[in-house]
């Protein structure tokens, strides 16, 4: 099945109209020495039902979270997505449409983006947001570049409590531009404030802080912001949107640029992607912000409408002088975010955040009370916490799998010093019964 509607007869008609005998003549410009002289060795040509059987078989070889109970977080979170979200995403006018370059027939996409931008601003307490970026990690990297651009400085401070994969992406983006990354050690699961203060020189463009951080701990963002600003550096925060139902917003904490992972609303875990980077900033930095931005305006008849705007920042206008090379972003994922968060609303978000907070703290308390287990850090946390274990974490997780439980993340994957530590995440998707069962199973492991 190749979705070509023209029949052999019709293709013949086209050839006659063009004035050639065969399709081959249309490839005359392709030199013989680069023509592929054999068929492509790519398996396929399956009828739909065979395709479904084939692909379902692959899907069936993965342990899915409808059958397993997972306590993994670490940047990819399980939240219940209301059924109507996906049905709206399946409206073809949303998902088969292109970038809204022709605004007259794209007001649906454009207004939805405007609403997304607003939601991100309200959540983060900032003035302006863009239409999305690839993911939280690349958004953080672009924010770091933006802070260098805004301050004309060439170094950023990055605590070790920032997601390790985000830190890797920072390296990839910043190294070729000659921007220095200065690591700030962690202390008790948080950014080491003493070390931070010592490292904050006038060469620092931005301090990048993630809160809640990778270890689940809530950072002293306001204090970090104060220290940064005192040295003329910007504060860049990476945040979890669900936590912002209760936790102080980056705007309130004095952030200059805010980024984060928007997967948490409307987007399934999907083995790590497609996800959704968001970015927001203060009015004064808008023109340095990468990504598309939608603005409101009027048409010739005085009707309100939306258009892509401030395009002089972008690659199709400024080419090598653009703020970024980003073109296609994560628009449909941003729409999913908009629908889900828009539906949750003021009260819903607060309630959702509270459910996450309560269940995670209940679980942490029960688990820490088990012999051989303790809470690794004593600072405030949202829905993730680290348990230090006497028993080898790998052994614990293997045991839990026998009961179809996927345990917390073995932190030795990223932090060699945390080799007896598990990062647990508990969202509203876990019932008290689930948590109690986890605790019982953990208690049985010696």
| Binding to other proteins, residues 247-266 (CB under 8 A) | 247-249, 252, 261
Per CB under 8 A, the list member of 185, 201, 432, 444 interacting with other proteins is: 432
Is residue 330 part of the contact set for other proteins (CB under 8 A)?
yes
Residues 99, 294 contacting (CB under 8 angstroms): no
Could you tell me the smallest distance in angstroms from the CB atom of residue 71 to other proteins? 10
Instruction: Assess 346 for contact with other proteins (CB under 8 A).
Output: yes
Report 106-165 residues binding other proteins (CB under 8 A). 106-109, 111-112, 114-115, 117-119, 121-123, 125, 127-129, 131-132, 134-138, 163, 165
8 interacts with other proteins by CB under 8 A: no
Nearest C-alpha neighbor of 6 from the set 30, 44, 17 = 17
Q: Which of 181, 195, 203, 311 binds other proteins (CB under 8 A)?
A: 311
The smaller minimum CB distance to other proteins, of residues 206 and 290, is found at 290
416 lies in the binding site for other proteins (CB under 8 A): no
Positions in 11-50 near other proteins (CB under 8 A): 11, 13-15, 17-19, 23, 25-31, 33-36, 39-46, 48
- Residue closer to other proteins (CB basis): 95 or 369: 95
Q: For residue 3, how far is the Cα from the chain centroid?
A: 33
Residue 428: name the closest of 338, 342, 333, 363 by CA.
363
Sign of CA dihedral 114, 117, 121, 123: positive
Residues 58-77 that bind other proteins (CB under 8 A): 58-66, 68, 70, 72, 74-76
> Is residue 234 involved in binding other proteins (CB under 8 A)?
no
Q: Which residues are paired to 156 by β-bridges?
A: 181, 206
Question: CA-CA distance, 66 to 33, in Å (whole number)?
Answer: 53
Whose Cβ is closer to other proteins: residue 23's or residue 202's?
23
CB 120 within 8 A of CB 129: yes
Interface residue with other proteins among 185, 201, 202, 358 (CB under 8 A) is 358
Segment interacting with other proteins, rule: CB under 8 A, options 146-154, 184-192, 195-203, 333-341: 333-341
What is the SS3 assignment for 388?
Answer: strand
Q: Ramachandran region of residue 19, left (φ > 0), alpha (ψ -120 to 50) or beta? A: left
- The full length of the chain comes to 446
Q: How many residues bind other proteins (CB under 8 A)?
A: 204
The residues, ordered by sequence, that sit 6+ positions from 267 with a Cβ below 8 Å of its Cβ are 81, 274, 275, 276, 333, 336, 337
Restricting to residues 185-214, name those near other proteins by CB under 8 A: none
Closer residue to other proteins (CB): 198 or 365: 365
3-state secondary structure of 19: coil
Least Cβ distance, residue 423 to other proteins (angstroms): 10
Tell me whether residue 157 or residue 333 sits nearer to other proteins (CB atom).
333
Binding segment for other proteins (CB under 8 A), chosen from 153-161, 196-204, 227-235, 351-359, is: 351-359
Within 10 angstroms of residue 288's Cβ, the number of other Cβ atoms is 15
- Under rule CB under 8 A, residue 54 binds other proteins: yes
22 burial level (CB within 10 Å; 0-12, 13-18, 19+): exposed
279-308 residues near other proteins, rule: CB under 8 A: 286, 292-307
The single residue among 435, 438, 439, 442 that binds other proteins, judged by CB under 8 A, is 435
What mask of x and - would describe binding to other proteins in positions 370 to 409, judged by CB under 8 A? Answer: ----------x-x--------------x---x----x--x
Q: Coil, strand, or helix at residue 99?
A: coil
- Do 238 and 136 meet the contact criterion of CB atoms below 8 Å apart? yes
Residue found under tokens 């689940």: 216
Q: Does 105 bind other proteins (CB under 8 A)?
A: yes
d(CA 60, CA 439): 29
Select the residue interacting with other proteins from 235, 242, 355, 396 (CB under 8 A): 355
Residue 427 CB, nearest approach to other proteins (Å):
12
Q: Where are the alpha helices (DSSP H) in 319-445?
A: 331-368, 393-401, 432-444
Kind and range of the H or E run holding 86: helix 83-89
Nearest distance from residue 4's CB to other proteins, in Å?
A: 5
The only residue of 8, 21, 57, 367 in contact with other proteins, by rule CB under 8 A: 57
Nearer to other proteins, 198 or 287 (CB): 287
Would you count residue 369 as binding other proteins (CB under 8 A)? no
Could you tell me if 352 and 371 are in contact, meaning their C-beta atoms sit under 8 angstroms apart?
no
| DSSP helix/strand/coil, 88 | helix
Q: What is the three-class DSSP state of 152?
A: coil
* Residue matched to tokens 């703020």: 323
Shortest gap between Cβ of 371 and other proteins (angstroms)? 22
Could you tell me if 42 and 35 are in contact, meaning their C-beta atoms sit under 8 angstroms apart?
Answer: no
Residue closer to other proteins, measured from CB, 72 or 198:
72
């Amino acid at each position: 099945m190749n979705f070509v509607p023209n029949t052999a007869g019709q293709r013949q008609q086209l050839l006659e109209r063009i004035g050639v005998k065969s399709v081959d003549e249309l490839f005359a410009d392709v030199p013989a020495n680069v023509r592929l002289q054999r068929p492509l060795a790519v398996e396929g040509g399956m009828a739909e039902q065979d395709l479904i059987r084939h692909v379902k078989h692959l899907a069936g070889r993965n342990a899915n979270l409808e059958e397993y109970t997972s306590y993994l977080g670490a940047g990819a979170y399980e939240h219940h997505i209301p059924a109507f979200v996906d049905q709206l995403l399946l409206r073809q006018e949303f998902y088969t449409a292109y970038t809204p370059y022709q605004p007259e027939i794209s007001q649906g996409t454009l207004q939805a983006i405007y609403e997304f931008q607003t939601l991100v601003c309200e959540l983060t307490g900032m003035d302006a947001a863009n239409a999305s970026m690839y993911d939280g990690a690349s958004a953080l990297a672009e924010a770091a570049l933006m802070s260098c651009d805004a301050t004309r400085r060439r170094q950023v401070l990055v605590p070790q409590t920032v997601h390790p994969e985000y830190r890797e992406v920072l390296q990839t983006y910043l190294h070729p531009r000659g921007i220095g990354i200065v690591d700030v050690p962690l202390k008790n699961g948080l950014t080491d404030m003493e070390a931070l203060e010592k490292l904050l020189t006038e060469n620092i463009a931005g301090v990048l802080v993630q809160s809640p951080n990778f270890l689940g701990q809530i950072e002293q963002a306001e204090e970090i912001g104060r220290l940064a600003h005192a040295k003329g550096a910007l504060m860049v925060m990476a945040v979890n949107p669900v936590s912002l139902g209760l936790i102080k917003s980056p705007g309130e904490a004095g952030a200059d640029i805010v980024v984060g992972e928007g997967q948490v609303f409307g987007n399934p875990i999907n083995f790590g992607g497609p996800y959704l980077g968001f970015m927001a900033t203060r009015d004064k930095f808008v023109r340095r912000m990468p990504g598309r931005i939608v603005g409101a305006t009027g048409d010739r008849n005085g009707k309100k409408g939306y258009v892509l705007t401030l395009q002089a920042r972008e690659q199709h206008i400024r080419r090598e002088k653009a703020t970024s090379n980003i073109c296609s972003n994560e628009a449909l994922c941003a729409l999913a975010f908009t629908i889900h968060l828009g539906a949750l609303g003021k009260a819903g978000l607060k309630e959702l955040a509270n459910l996450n907070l309560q269940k995670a703290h209940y679980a942490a308390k029960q688990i820490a009370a088990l012999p051989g287990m303790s809470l690794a850090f004593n600072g405030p946390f949202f829905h993730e916490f680290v348990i230090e274990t006497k028993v080898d974490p790998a052994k614990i997780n293997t045991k839990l799998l026998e009961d179809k439980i996927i345990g917390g993340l073995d932190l030795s994957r990223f932090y060699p010093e945390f080799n007896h530590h598990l990062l647990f995440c508990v969202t509203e998707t876990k019932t008290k019964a689930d948590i109690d069962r986890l605790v019982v199973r953990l208690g049985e492991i010696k």
